[in-house]
Structure 1
Amino acid sequence: MFTHPLANRVKHKLSRWADHLNTANPAGDLEPLLERTFVRDDPAAYGRNMLMPMALPVEPSFAEDQPDKMRITLQPLPPEAPGIDRRDTVTAAMRSFVNGLAGREAVRWFDQASEPHRGFHGNAALNYGAFFGTAHDRNGLHTTKVYYETPEGQGAIDGLPPSLVRVVMTALQGIPGLKPLFTTIAARRDAGEQRLTFACTTPLKLSDLQPTLDVLGLGHRLGSIMQTLGLVLGGKFDLPAHSTLLAFGHGPAGPDFEIYVLLSAIDDVPPSFLSLLTMGLAERPRSLRALERWMGALTPDDDYWPGRFSIVSLRTNRVSPPRVSLYLRPAEFELPTPEQTAA
C-alpha cells in the first residue's frame, strides 16, 4: 500500500502510544483508514475538521471503566470529503471490524441498528457525516464504534430501539434546549450498545438534572456527578450554553447516562484541573494509576505534558457509580494558528 508521509507520522505516534501502554497497536487495524485520510502533504489542511479543530483529527481518550485500553476516535477521509462518503466509509469499516470481533450475528445486529443512518432514509444533508472509534487492549481489538451525525427533530429518534426511545423521550421532556448531535453504535467482543448524544444549547444547572435522572432511576448518582465536576471546575455547578453534551443509552443495567463538559467553553477552568481530578480519584487507586500510565504514554519524549485536555465526562447507570473519561488534544497533533504561521 502506498504510504503517505502524514499517515506515516500518525501511525508512528499510535504505535509509540500502544507500546508504552502495552496494548495491541491500533495502527495496524486502522491503517487503511489512515492512508485514505492523511493523503494531503500539508497538515494545516486538516485544521477545519469537526472532531478536533486546529489539530489532526485523531483523538485519544482515557476511560476509567476501560483502564487498560487504548481508545482512539478518527474523522476519516480528507477534509474536503462529503459527509455522505464519510458515513459510508465508516459503515463499511464497522461491518468489517464487527465481523472480525464478534462474527456474523453481530454484523446482522449492526446492520439493523445502523440502517436508519446509512440507508436511503438516512439524512442526505450531512456535514461531517460520521466519526469512527476503536479501543485496543493487549489481546487486540476490544471495541469498535461509529458516531453517525444525527438530524434534528423526529429523525433523531426514528429507528432507535424502543427501550432507548423511552429513555430519550424522558430526557427531551425533562431537559430544555437539547439538540441531537450523533448516534453511537458500539460493538465489543461480548456485547453491543447504542446511544444518542445531545448538545445543551441553553445554560445547564447540574441540579436541574435531578427530576430526569429520578425518572430514569439514576437520581442517586447526581450527588457524585456534582461532587466530581464541582471539584475539577472550581466549584462551578451552572454550565453555560453549548458547553455540555448529554448522552443517553439503555443496556442490561437499564438506562445509561453520560455528561460531557467541553473545557474550552468553560471560563476559568482551574489551572490545577488535573491535580483536582486526581484528588477525586485518590479513593480509586487502580484508576489513578491507569490515568498516570496513560498520560505518561502520550507525553512526547522531549516534553513534560501530553497536550490539552478538551473534554471531561462522567458515565453512570443503576449499578455503576459515575466513572471519569478524559479526551486529549495531543501536543504532537496540534496545528499552528494563522498567527503562528505568519510569524
Structure 2
Amino acid sequence: MAQALASRIADMLRQSANKLGTVDPVPSLGGLLNRTFVLPQGDPRYADNALTPGAAPFEPSSDLQSGQLRFNIQPLGPDASGIDRRDESTREMRRLVNTFFGREALRWFDERSEPWRGFGSGSNLNFGAFFGTGYDRNGLYNSKVYYESGPGQIESLPMSLFGLVSTAMSVMPKLRPLFTTISAQRDLGSERLTFAHPQALRIADLQPLLDALGLGYRMPGILQILGLVLGGRFDLPANATLIGVGQGQDGPEIEIYVLLGMIPDLPPNFLGLLTLGLSERPRELTALESWMSAFTPEDDVWPGRFSIISVRTSPAISARVSLYLRPVEFEVPSQAYRSANGQS
C-alpha cells in the first residue's frame, strides 16, 4: 500500500523547521495532517481543492521579517464537505489556542468565531474554511482560521472592522467578500476580511481605497514592488486580485494579493526582479533566501512554483512582501488531473 502524503509533508516540515531554526510543528499538528493527507503523493484527487488547485492543499508562505515557519492547508480529504472543513478548522484552532495561549484567548476566539461556526452559518458553503499556523523558535506563534464568508455576514464583524469593510465596499463596489480570517497569537488576536476582485484592476485604482483608509501615502511603495516584480505591468487581469482589510494595533491595514497563476505574461525572472526590489532591505532578502532553501528538496534546485505575492501595509508598516509556494513535490501531474476529471 502506498504511503500517505501526510508522512512526506511531516518530513518536509521537520526539515524546514530545522533549517529555519523554529520548533517542529509536527508533534502538535500530526493528527490534522494524518486526517487531511490520507491519499498517496501524486493522487489526482488532491488537485481539486480551493486553496492550491492542481496540487495538494498545502501552502507555505514566507515572512520576510520574523523568520517563521508558516503554512496553510485545506483540512480533510477531497470528499469532505465545506461544513466538515469549517468544523475541523474550528476544532483544531480551539485545541491549539487553549493548549498554547490559554483560556482567555480561547474565550476570545469563541466569541469572534461564533457567527461563522454557529447554528445556521453552514448553508451554501463551498470550501468552508482553511487552516493556517505559524511557528518560531519558541513554539506556536499564531494560529488562524479562514472562514468562508458572504455579503450577508459582514454585519457580524466587530464594529471597527465592519466600518473598514463598509468603506471598502462603498469605494470599490465590485469587491466580493471571500473569507474572514480570525487569528490568535501569543499576546493578541486579530480579524480581517478578504475580498475577491472579479474584474480586471489597475493597481492605481486602489488609490481611493487607500485614501479612505488613511493609507494613501503608501501607494508609491506598493506600485514600486508590484510594478517591478510583474515586469512593468500595472494592470491585473480578472480574478487575479484579492484585497484584505483589517484593524491593526496601529490603525487600518491592507494587504493586496496577486494570484500569479492568473498573470499571462509573468516575467520568467520574477524572482530576480523581487530580489532586486529587496536589494535595499538586506534582512528581508536574507530571510527570503533562507525560506526558499528551507523548502527546496535535497535532490532539486528549486522549491516549486510561487502561487501568490502579497504586499501588506499599515500606518506603521511600509510595503511588506510575502510569497506563497506550491512545493514542487506536491504538484499533481496535469495529465493525471485531467484523466481523473474525465478530460482527454
SS at match of 2:318: coil
User: What do the CA deviations read for 1:218-256 (whole angstroms, capped 9, x no partner)?
Assistant: 000011000110000011111111100000000211111
Aligned 8 A contact 1:221 1:316 in 2: yes
SS at match of 1:73: strand
Mapped partners of 1:7, 1:80: distance in 2: 17
Change (3 A) 1:341 1:194: closer
Corresponding position of 1:170: 167
- AA aligned to 1:137 is D
Following superposition, the deviation at residue 338 of structure 1 comes to 1.6
Change (3 A) 1:65 1:168: farther
Mapped partners of 2:81, 2:7: distance in 1: 24
- AA aligned to 2:170 is Q
Q: Aligned pair 1:315/2:312, yes or no?
A: yes
Mapped partners of 1:341, 1:88: distance in 2: 30
Corresponding position of 1:139: 138
SS at match of 1:23: coil
Corresponding position of 1:154: 152
Aligned 8 A contact 1:101 1:188 in 2: no
Q: Aligned pair 1:129/2:128, yes or no?
A: yes
Structure 1 unaligned regions, length at least 5:
none
1:43-192 → structure 2 map (5 Å cutoff): 43-66=43-66, 68-151=67-150, 153-155=151-153, 157-192=154-189
Following superposition, the deviation at residue 340 of structure 1 comes to 8.8
Mapped partners of 1:285, 1:303: distance in 2: 26
Q: Aligned pair 1:216/2:216, yes or no?
A: no
Following superposition, the deviation at residue 154 of structure 1 comes to 2.5
Q: Aligned pair 1:202/2:199, yes or no?
A: yes
TM-score by length of 1: 0.95
1:220-231 → structure 2 map (5 Å cutoff): 220-231=217-228
Mapped partners of 1:116, 1:236: distance in 2: 39
Following superposition, the deviation at residue 339 of structure 1 comes to 6.1
Mapped partners of 2:338, 2:195: distance in 1: 35
Match of 1:294 among 291, 304, 308: 291
Structure 2 unaligned regions, length at least 5:
none
Mapped partners of 1:182, 1:95: distance in 2: 19
Identity rate, percent: 54
Corresponding position of 1:33: 32
Aligned 8 A contact 2:97 2:143 in 1: yes
Mapped partners of 1:101, 1:338: distance in 2: 43
- AA aligned to 1:214 is D
Match of 1:265 among 262, 268, 280: 262
SS at match of 2:288: helix
- AA aligned to 1:256 is E
Following superposition, the deviation at residue 100 of structure 1 comes to 2.1
Following superposition, the deviation at residue 170 of structure 1 comes to 0.8
Mapped partners of 2:238, 2:338: distance in 1: 32
Number of positions where the alignment pairs a residue of Structure 1 with one of Structure 2: 338
Following superposition, the deviation at residue 26 of structure 1 comes to 1.5
